Structure 1
Amino acid sequence: MYYLNLFKMPKAVVTKITSLQSRFFWGKSDGTKGMSIVSWSLIQKPKSQGGLGVRDLVLKNAALLFKWWWRFDKEECPLWKRVVCSCNKLDSKKGLEKQQMKNTRSLWNTIGNLRFSEAELFSIFYEGMQLQLGDGTRTLFWNNVWMKDGRLRDRFPNLYRVAVDKACTISDCSFWDGYVWRWGLQWRRALWLWEEQELSELQTGLTKVGIRQSEVDKLIWKHDKEGNFSVKSFLNVLYKNKNLGQEPNMFNFYNNLWRSLVPPRVEIFVWFVILERVNTKDKLVRCGILPTSEITCVICGKAPESVHHLFFTCEYAWKLWGSALRFWNILWVWAGDPRQCFESWIHGANRKGEKEDWMTTFFCCNLVSVET
C-alpha cells in the first residue's frame, strides 16, 4: 500500500495481482481455473452499491496519487511542499493543474501528469474540488469551481468569450457598496439578446452568493460532509460514475446483508443466492454442462432446480422455513425471486433485538437448506 501511495502501478503488476484475486474466488482446489459465476466488475463494487468491496487496484492507486494533488492545493507551504517545488521548479502558490510538468518518469512528474495519463479520473477529481467562498481574493470567478453546478466558464460560455478579464478573482469583479455586495462584470462589447439571457441567469445565481470578509477562501471536497478529501470518498464517487454494464447497481438489502450477524463466508454465500448466481442445475443445463433430462431438483426430484426452488420453495427447504416461522408464530408467503424474498424478510420484525435474531434466521435457513 505504501508503494501505491507514491508510484503508479505498472499494468503487468495490475494484471498479475488481479489474476491472483480472481483465482482465489474461482480457482479449484487443484489450482486450475474454475467457472466464474459473478462478473469481476460487480465483485469490485463497494458493498453499499451491491458488490463485494474488492477494490479495483487501478482506481485505488489513482485515488492515493490524487491525494497528493489535494494536499498540494490545500496545504499552504509545509516543508515537503517547499522541497517538491524546489526540485521540480514549481510555484507553491499555484495549483498543480496550472503548472507545466516535465514529461519524465520521476516520482513527482508522474503524479503531476495524471491529468493527462488518467484524464477521465482527473476530471471527476477536479469537479469534486470546490472553493468555499470567503473574501473572494483567491477564487477565480470564471475558472474555479465555487458554485454547485461547476465552473462558470462552462455554464456560460457565451459570456466567458466576451468577458474583459477571463482570469479575474471574485474580489476583482465585485465590491461593497455600503452594506450591499455588488457585481461589476465588464464586457468587450454590448451583449446580444441570447447573451443577455445568459447574464440574467448568471445574476440570479449570484444573488444567492454570500461574501465573508473576515474569512479567506478555502478549498473543500464537496463529496464529504466535513469538506476533507479521502481516498474512500473519491473511490465511492468513481464507482458511482463507472459503467458496469447490466449488473445490479443498487439494492435495498445491502445494509441488512453485511451486518456481521453470521460469519463472512455465510454472508457471501447468501449474497450469491440473492443475486441468483449459484450453480444450480437449471444454470448448468443452460451452459451445456448437464443434459436437459437432469434438470430436476437433486433433493425432491419433483421440479426444475433453480435458486428460488432449491432455497425457498422445495418441499424439504420449506419444512425448514416452516419450522422457523412456527417458532416466530408468523404466517409467510414468499415473493417472486430471491432478492424480493430477502427484501420482504427484512420487514418481518421491528424491534431491534428481535430483528437481529430474525435476520440471523434467514442466513441460517439458507445455509442449512443447501447442506440438507
Structure 2
Amino acid sequence: MGFGEKWIKWICTCLKSASTSVLINGSPSNEFYMERGLRINLSKCNLFGIGVPKADVKNMADLLKCKASSFPFTYLGLPIGGNMKKKASWSVVEDKFLKKLSDWKSNCLSIEGRFTLIQSVLSSIPLFYFSLFKAPNSVLKSLESTRRKFFWGFKEDEKRIHLVAWEKILNSKSKDGLGVISLRAKNDALLAKWIWRFCQDMSIGQGRKLKDLYPRLYAMERDKNALFKERWNYINGAWRGAWNWKSTIRGRSSDDLKALERHLSQMTFNTSGDDVWSWNWDKNGFFPVNLMSKLLQGAVDTNADNNDISFWSPLIPKKVNIFIWRLLKEAIPARFNLS
C-alpha cells in the first residue's frame, strides 16, 4: 500500500504491545504486560474504505487479519452510511414493533393493558432513531397504524371497525382524548432538543453577536471592548441604554438603534449570576421533550384553565377511566353503536 517502514513499525508496536502499572499507596508499580484485555482483536474488527477501491480494502483486511466491509453498516444499533429518507432503512424499527406485538399477543390483554403498553414501551422503541433522524411520512404512518391496531386488539392483517378515530385518541385528556403522544410530534421534539443543546453548549457559542447584527452601531461605539452590562442598565425599574457614541446617531444608524432597543426590550435579563438559556414553557427553564411533543401535537391547550373538568380521574382505576371514555365516545361494541 506504500506505507513507510517507520510508520508500519509504529502501528505494529501499538497493536502488539500493551502494558500498564497500578498505584500502590500512591506510587506507581513497575509496568507489566497485559495477558488478557486491552488488546485489539483483529478477527472481530471490520475495515471500511471511503473512496477506496474494494480490492484495496480487501487486500488491507487480509494483511491485518480482519474483515473487509462496506457501507451501510450498523453501529450501536444505528445504521451508518444509509439513506434514512428511505423506508427500507427503518425496517429494523418496524420489525421491533411487530416482534413486540407478536410476543404480547394483544388478544390476551385488556384494552387498558394495551393502552399502558402503548404509552410505555411502544412509544419508546423508536426513540433512539427519532433522536437522530427525521422519520419519513410512510414510516410514521406505518408505525401509527401498528399502534392503532394493537390498541383495538386487531391482528396485523385484520380489518375491523375503529370505533374512535386515532387522531381523537391522540388528543389530551382535557380535549376528550387519551393523551397518547403522536410519533411525529415525538420525532420533531427529540430533534428540536439538539437545538436546545446547541444553545446550552457554551463552547459552541451563543449565536450571533450584537456587533454582527448591528455593524453600523458597533462602528460608532467609542470603546470596542465595552461589556454589554455597561451599555444596558436597569434604572428606575426599567432597562435603558447607556450608550457612548463617537458622534450623534442619525439616519440609518438611528433606525438601527431603535431596532436594537426594541430587540433588547423583548428579552429577559438575569441581574445576578451568569446568563443562561431558559425555556418559558417549563417552570425550571429546562427543555422537557414530553411537553414539547404535546405542544407540537396541539395536545396542550395554552389558554385552558387549570380547573377545567375532565372525565379522567387519578382516584379510580385506569380501566374504569377508559371504560367511561369509551362510553362517552359511544365506543362500546354494542348493537346500537355498530349499527
Does the TM-score normalized on the shorter chain lie above 0.5?
Answer: no
TM range (shorter): 0.3 to 0.5
Higher Cα Rg, which structure: 2
Q: TM-score, normalised by structure 2?
A: 0.44
Q: TM-score, normalised by structure 1?
A: 0.41
